[in-house]
Amino acid sequence: MMPLVPLEERHVGAFDEIIHSKEEPRLSILRRLRSLLARRYRAYSSARHELAALPRSYAYFGVTGVREAILASHACRGARKQSPAPRSSFETSEREALLQCYDGETNGRKEMLGRIRKLQPAKQRWYCQYCCGMSRSATWDHYLHKAQFPEFSVYAPNLVPSCGECNGLRRAWIKYGKRTSINFYYDRLDPMRPLIQAKIAIGDDGDPEVTFSLMVRRVSRTRFGRLFERHWRALDLERRLREGAPTTLAVLQAHVEVRARDVRVSAQDLAEELASEAECLRRSLGANHIQTVIYRAAAVSPELIEYYLKRAP
């Protein structure tokens, strides 16, 4: 996992570009909402390091009975299990127009998404950070769901490059007052700190099997670690990483088989090479990227190295 770079241009710049191509009556509705959206964009920006506080703010509800609505929302600290979701303060026509800003294909939307993509470092530009780089980030996830927050449907810092599965699994972004997933734009994560560990064994069918788990002591000691634990559960990462491991193992096996053609290479040499490769991956992709985790585990698995050496032509 690596942090992403947010696109922080003039607050309503992309919004203005998108609505330029809209037709009446949608255009008039969006123009009327422009000043309100500018205020809500500022509220998002001021709360970006702890967005759990955002739906509790007056900026979101903007209606009478704000205190009662906040206390009844699922974003309230210590909320009851059956608490209702926050209500939108937009009329149906306004909500539809705001959602159409994202759902409708426009040059302004396409250019904004392109600018977000180009800001990301080349090595991680097409990896989904939600699932530790296991899949390509071919879709865009609204960190604050656009169904609940239509005002942020085309707000660039709310749009995160994501794979389709993570996008679908991120249902409740907040639960019982606590965020359930990492914000890769604004959360203070240390990409070099390992939080995931893997073990590789030869299964009953004779093939390598990888199991993943959290490094519990490291996870429990920090606020970010506890957030990552909720993220791990919400996106079912233990299962998904296990199912995605064979792809990386196939690359690792090909590397070992090529090196095994040198009769002078030993299992110890290969272990050191894998450890070195794991360190290179850690620096470029992060300590918790699926490739880094598997290579780190392979380097300390003599059983796996011997298995691949025996299978080498």
pLDDT in tens, the chain (313 residues): 899 999 987 778 899 999 988 888 989 999 999 998 888 888 888 777 666 545 433 334 433 443 444 344 444 444 444 444 445 567 788 989 999 999 988 999 999 999 999 999 988 899 999 999 999 999 999 998 888 889 899 999 999 999 999 999 887 777 777 788 999 998 888 999 999 999 998 887 778 899 999 998 889 888 889 999 999 999 999 999 999 999 999 998 888 888 877 767 788 888 999 999 999 999 999 999 999 999 999 999 988 888 888 877 6
Question: Do 59 and 153 fall into the same domain?
Answer: yes
Same domain as 249, residue 162? no
Q: Are residues 68 and 167 in the same domain?
A: yes
Q: How many residues does the chain have?
A: 313
In a domain, 130, yes or no: yes
Are residue 144 and residue 288 in the same domain, yes or no? no
Same domain, 160 and 207: no
Domain boundary among 179, 205, 237: 179
- Domain boundary (131, 153, 179) is at 179
54 contacts 60 by C-beta, under 8 angstroms: yes
3-class secondary structure, 228? helix
Residue 4 located in a structural domain:
no
How far, CA to CA in Å, does 122 sit from each of 5, 45, 184, 285? 12, 26, 16, 11
Residue 223 in any domain: the answer is: yes
Is 208 found in the same domain as 84?
A: no
Regarding whether 114 and 212 lie in a shared domain, the answer is: no
Domain extent, residue 208, equals 196-311
Same domain, 95 and 173: yes
Burial class (CB in 10 A: 0-12, 13-18, 19+), 207: exposed
169 with 202, same domain: the answer is no
Contacts of 107 (CB under 8 A, 6+ apart): 17, 21
- Residues 31, 148, single domain; the answer is yes
The pTM score is 0.83
Domain tally for the chain? Answer: 2
146 within domain boundaries: yes
Contact 20, 129 (CB under 8 A): no
Q: Is residue 32 part of a domain?
A: yes
The answer on 111 and 47 residing in a single domain is yes
- The DSSP bridge partners found for residue 127 are 136
Residue 185 inside a domain? The answer is no
Q: Is residue 274 part of a domain?
A: yes
User: By the 8 A CB rule, do 179 and 173 touch?
Assistant: yes
Residues 72 and 214 in one domain: no
Which one of 145, 179, 213 terminates a domain? 179
